[in-house]
Structure 1
Amino acid sequence: MFIYIKHGDNNQFLVNTNCPTVVLMECIKTRLGLAESELIDLCDERGVLKFLFLPQNSQESARGLLKVKESFIVCIIKRSSDGAYNSVTSLLSGVDPAIIETLQTQIDNLEKTRLKQLHIVETRMATSEEINAQALSTKTTKKRKKVTHANAPDEEVQRHTGDRKSRN
C-alpha cells in the first residue's frame, strides 16, 4: 500500500509502506535530498506526529503504523548534542500556525518524557551504587567481625576457664 508525502510548496509524492519504517524514512530523505543524519518524522494533516524515528518503531513495518492512502507532512526534528529534543520544523510551506504549535507541544512532551526516563535511570544507578557500597561495607564489617571473633575467646570458654583460674 502507499501514502502521500507532502512537502515544499504543496508538492507531494507516493511511497510504499510495505517495508520497515527505517527504510521508508531513508527513502523519504533521499527523495527530498536530506542528509542521512537528519532526524525526520511524519505528521498527519492535524499535526499529530507518528514518532517513526523512535527506536521501538524503526524496524516495525510502516504499513502497521501509517494509514494507507493518507497524506503526511515531513517534519525535521532538531536535537541538541546532549540528545534533548529542541524543535520541529515542517517541510511543507504555508502550514497553519496551530499545526506548528501542536507539533512543538508534542516535541516538548517528548523531551519531558526523555528527562523523566533519564532521571529514573540515574536514580537506579545511584541506588545500585549505594547498594553495592553497603554490600561491600557489610562484607568488610563481617570479615572484621570474624577476625575479631576468631581472636577473642568464646564467652562459653571464658566462663569455664575463668572458673578454673579462680580455683587455682
Structure 2
Amino acid sequence: MFIYIKHADNEQFLVNTDCPIILLLQYLRTKLGLAETELLDLCDERGTLKLLFLAHQPQESASRLLPVRASFLVCSVNRDSKDGAYVSITPHVTNPDPALIENLKTQMDHLEKARLKKLSSQEDRVSNVARSAQPVSTPSPNPGPLPEHVAISL
C-alpha cells in the first residue's frame, strides 16, 4: 500500500502507508529536511486536511486513514508558541493554487474555533469543580441544650 506525496515544484515520491502514523510523519520530516518539531499533516489536492497530527492513537496504521494510490501534499501546521492558537497552514509546494490556500485557511479557522470551544469547556469544568469543592455550611450535629419546658421521661 502506498500513496503519492507531492512537494516543491511538481516533485513527488511514493510512501508506504503500512506503518504507524507517527512513523509516516517522521519519515516525511526527514525526506523533506524539516525540523523534528515541525507539526505536519497531509491534505488532498483540494486542500482537505487528514488531521494526522491530531490522531488520538499515533500508533494506528496510516493505511487505515489514507486511501491507496491517492496523492497528498505535505502541509506545516503553524501554531502560536504561547497559547497554541492555530496561526496558519502552509503547503510545501511551489505556487500553490489560491483555492487550495483558501480551503486550508478555512480549515485552520475551524480548528481554532474548536480549540477555543474545548478550552472554554475545560475552563467551565474547572470552575464548576472549584465551586463544588468549597465548604458547605451544615447544621451542627449537637443542637444544644433542650428548652426547659421539654420534659424527658425515662
Query: What is the TM-score of this pair, normalised by structure 2?
Result: 0.92
How many aligned residue pairs are there?
151
> Cα RMSD over matched residues?
1.6
- Superposition deviation, residue 56 in structure 1: 1.3
State the 4+ residue runs in structure 1 displaced beyond 6 angstroms.
none
For 2:136, give the aligned amino acid.
Answer: S
Question: What does residue 133 of structure 2 align with?
Answer: 132
The structure where helix makes up a greater share of residues is: 1
Which 5+ residue runs of structure 2 have no aligned equivalent? none
For 1:69, give the aligned amino acid.
Answer: R
Query: Aligned ranges for residues 144-163 of structure 1 at < 5 Å?
Result: 145-147=140-142, 149=143, 152-155=144-147, 158-160=148-150
Larger of the two Rg values belongs to structure: 1
SS of 1:115's partner is: helix
Structure 1 residues 76-129: Cα deviation after superposition (integer angstroms, max 9, x where no partner): 110001111110111011211011010111011001001001100100110111
Q: Matched residues in 1 for 2:14 and 2:105: separation?
A: 26
Q: Matched residues in 2 for 1:44 and 1:129: separation?
A: 45
SS of 1:111's partner is: helix
- Superposition deviation, residue 57 in structure 1: 4.9
Q: Matched residues in 1 for 2:57 and 2:111: separation?
A: 15
SS of 1:160's partner is: coil
Q: Check 1:57–1:51 CA distance in 2 against 1; reply closer, same or farther (3 A cut).
A: farther
Which 5+ residue runs of structure 1 have no aligned equivalent? 162-168
Q: Matched residues in 2 for 1:91 and 1:57: separation?
A: 25
